[in-house]
Amino acid sequence: MPPPSSSPDADPTGFRVAVLGYGNQGRAHALNLRDAGATVTVGARSGPGARLAEADGFLPVSFDAAVATAELVIMALPDEVHGPVWSELEPHVPHGCSVGFIHGFSIHHRRLAPRADLGVILVAPKGPGPTLRSRFVKGQGIPALVGVHQTGDADAEQHLHRWGTGIGCARAALIPSSFAEECETDLFGEQAILCGGILALMRASFETLQDAGYSDEVAYIECIHELKQVVDLLYAQGPAAMHKAISNTAEFGAFVAAEQLDSKELRGQLQSLLHDIQSGAFAQRFAEDAEAGHPWFNAKRSAHDDHAIEAASAKVRQTMPWLENDT
């Protein structure tokens, strides 16, 4: 893993950056870059994001106005709107500017193709926006996968390092990668573990205890609430240290369960998820659902929000109101 960048070329002071969108990632990038000395303009449509940007001391403007004098334009918008936004925005982007992406999805899946004179770069922090911001404020950082897809007439490599340094990721590591690698591995990690697999396993375990007659609150505590304590150990010290921190009974049971759950069927399902991502089938379904107004997505969201886990979660969290600020 490469060391943090210390090149004078990586100094973000005076770097003219347009951040388009002010969600979790956009806000963190804008605030960190501003604190690092960059000249940041926020492009945001009227709404909660624009109001939050104003509260943070920015004067949000239209996308066209935001990019007018930028050296770097950061696309901090949802992946599914990159194409339509870019088709209207591109004529206003200055010659030799770099276009920056936080995720490899829209470039890898050809949702847009910036013109030849523009740099196309990737700085993908490996963590959510609030974590990127909180680590920066503490003088720390989180790693980012980085890459140059297109140099054009821009100082693309320099822009990449000024961006990665400005948001604090160079304090940890700027890991050389590509749009394809970041996109495919990020989607797989989200689906197999972080956002899909872990929730599916938690729900199945919760329902198993529920069906066996145990209370919803106890099932929630045992299968979901306690997860953070184990994840914190994994995050800070790794799997071996986590095993050393738990009881012999828990560790013995972990090995028993691993032998039962890690089956050929599971490996096959994981391979199927990866193939779905690599083939572009997942991206195509996502695009088609978005174009139709997200009917499948919204139905799944509603069903997920109505699960008994949510009621149990609310009851458990009511006993610990301080958890609201423990993020």
Catalytically active residues, by annotation: 103
**C-alpha dihedral (290, 293, 299, 302), degrees to nearest 10:** 100
Number of other residues whose CB lies within 10 A of the CB of residue 100: 27
CA distance 210 to 203: 10
Spatial neighbors of 59 by CB under 8 A, at least 6 apart, are: 42
Packing angle, helices 281-291 and 295-305, rounded to 10: 90
- Whether the CB-CB separation of 146 and 174 falls below 8 Å is answered with yes
- Whether the CB-CB separation of 71 and 98 falls below 8 Å is answered with yes
Task: Cite the beta strand spans of the chain per DSSP E.
Answer: 16-20, 39-43, 72-75, 98-101, 119-125, 144-150, 174-176
